[in-house]
């Protein structure tokens, strides 16, 4: 049970009653369409207005009283920003796992690795020579850390992660299971007899502070220069980042996106799922690319939105798509006009 006044105080919100008074306690949390009496939910997207109108939740977090449906008779918790409040609430209620420093007896740590006494290392993890791991980092089971890898403080490395030689991980980074950091970039050149000869990849991968990487991602080391993810970059699952790519600070990228070699993404970009970005492009700060788009040219103007394949200006795409949907009707009208002209001839 959660005290309503405590929740309101933590979220810096105020409770507004709409007819039916709530009790002093909230029994739990649920989506609008699943919540029952005594539970709390939140409303922050107009797509869910009908769910808001029909919800049985006793208390709903909102940021604008004008959004409340006329039929809603329960109570709301008015806050400045719904999603910031919900995030704060989740953080407060999230169970904190106690991490005990120490190296599991089955882990293989090279004598020349430098591991802080405040680090936790899980079962069957391998840490090679020259590796450096900072205070309060939690390395879980079956992780592989290559030679001369540097990992900062307070990082969380989930099971099955591979961080290959010479890569650098900053402070407060999170790397989810089965991601590979520092795999060879995809570089080959044809020999005179037609054989594809592998080009050595001599760079490394650098993750700056507060970078989060989802599960099953592959981030390739650079060929000569480094592959770099700047401060606060967030990657979803199943993302490919090729050699020499640089991703600007606080950029977020959704699942199944692929970024080809030597492309630079600016700061604060938002990249949807299944986006493909060809190599050697420069994408300006604040660029938004809609899901399943294909970028084949650089973006010079900051804070623009793109959609489609090949991607074009978002507004232009939506107008073009509206016309495209009407093409069958337009063709019928053109044929009708052609037939009228033939009859006149």
- The CATH class of the 98-178 domain is mainly beta
> In 3D, which of 137, 294, 152, 159 has the Cα closest to residue 215?
159
- Rg of the chain over all Cα atoms, to the nearest angstrom: 26
Q: Where in the chain is the domain with CATH 3.40.1390.10?
A: 2-93
The pLDDT assigned to 130 comes to: 98
Pick the residue with more confidence: 141 or 16?
Answer: 141
d(CA 105, CA 115): 15
Q: Known catalytic residue: 110?
A: no
Q: Does residue 343 carry a pLDDT above 90?
A: no
Pick the residue with more confidence: 157 or 90?
Answer: 157
- DSSP H/E element including 245: none
Q: Mean pLDDT over residues 305-313, rounded?
A: 94
> In 3D, which of 324, 289, 308 has the Cα closest to residue 299?
289
Q: Does residue 21 carry a pLDDT above 60?
A: no
**pLDDT tens track for 191-209:** 999 999 999 999 999 999 9
Catalytic residue among 136, 138, 166, 243: 243
The pLDDT assigned to 22 comes to: 61
Q: Mean pLDDT over residues 61-86, rounded?
A: 89
Residue 148 in tokens: 């001369």
The pLDDT assigned to 75 comes to: 86
Q: Mean pLDDT over residues 282-288, rounded?
A: 98
Bridge partners of residue 213, in order along the sequence:
175, 235
Between CA 164 and CA 168, with CA 167 as vertex, the angle to 5 degrees is: 140
**pLDDT tens track for 227-251:** 999 999 999 999 999 999 999 999 9
pLDDT, the chain, mean: 93
Q: Mean pLDDT over residues 5-29, rounded?
A: 79
d(CA 114, CA 291): 43
Q: Does residue 23 carry a pLDDT above 70?
A: no
**pLDDT tens track for 105-120:** 999 999 999 999 999 9
Check the CA dihedral 246-249-251-253 and report its sign. Answer: positive
Torsion angle (degrees, nearest 10) of CA 59, 64, 70, 75: 20
Say which CATH architecture domain 2-93 belongs to. Answer: 3-Layer(aba) Sandwich (3.40)
Q: Where in the chain is the domain with CATH 2.160.10.10?
A: 98-178
Q: Mean pLDDT over residues 47-58, rounded?
A: 91
Q: Mean pLDDT over residues 139-165, rounded?
A: 98
Q: Mean pLDDT over residues 110-133, rounded?
A: 97
Residue 97's pLDDT band (cuts 50, 70, 90): confident
d(CA 152, CA 207): 10
Q: What is the pTM of this model?
A: 0.86
**193 phi-psi bin (left φ>0, alpha ψ -120 to 50, beta other):** alpha
Q: Does residue 69 carry a pLDDT above 80?
A: yes
The pLDDT assigned to 67 comes to: 85
């Amino acid at each position: 049970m959660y005290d309503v006044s405590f929740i309101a105080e933590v979220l810096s919100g105020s409770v507004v009653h709409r007819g039916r008074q709530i009790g002093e306690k909230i029994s739990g949390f649920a989506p609008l369409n699943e919540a029952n009496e005594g539970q709390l939910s939140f409303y922050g997207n107009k797509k869910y207005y009908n769910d808001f109108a029909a919800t049985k939740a006793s208390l709903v977090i909102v940021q604008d009283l004008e959004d409340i449906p006329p039929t809603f008779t329960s109570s709301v918790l008015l806050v400045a920003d719904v999603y910031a409040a919900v995030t704060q609430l989740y953080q407060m209620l999230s169970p904190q796992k106690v991490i005990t420093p120490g190296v599991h007896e089955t882990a293989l740590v090279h004598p020349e690795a430098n591991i802080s006494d405040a680090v936790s290392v899980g079962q069957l993890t391998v840490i090679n020579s020259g590796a450096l791991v900072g205070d309060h980092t939690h390395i879980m089971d079956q992780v592989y850390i290559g030679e001369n890898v540097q990992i900062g403080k307070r990082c969380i490395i989930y099971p099955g992660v591979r961080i290959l030689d010479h890569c650098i991980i900053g402070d407060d980074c999170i790397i989810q299971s089965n991601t590979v950091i520092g795999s060879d970039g995809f570089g080959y050149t044809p020999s005179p007899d037609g054989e594809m000869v592998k080009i050595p990849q001599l760079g490394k991968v650098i993750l700056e502070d507060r970078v989060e990487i989802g599960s099953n991602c592959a981030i390739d080391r650079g060929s000569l220069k480094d592959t770099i993810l700047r401060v606060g970059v967030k990657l979803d699952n199943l993302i490919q980042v090729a050699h020499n790519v640089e991703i600007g600070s606080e950029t977020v990228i959704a699942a199944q996106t692929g970024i080809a070699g030597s492309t630079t993404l600016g700061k604060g970009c938002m990249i949807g799922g299944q986006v493909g970005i060809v190599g050697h492009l420069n994408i300006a700060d604040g660029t938004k690319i809609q899901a399943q788009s294909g970028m084949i040219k650089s973006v010079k103007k900051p804070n623009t939105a793109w959609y489609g394949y090949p991607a074009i200006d978002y507004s232009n795409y939506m107008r073009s798509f509206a016309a495209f949907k009407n093409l069958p009707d337009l063709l019928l009208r053109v044929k009708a006009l052609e037939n009228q002209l033939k009859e006149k001839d």
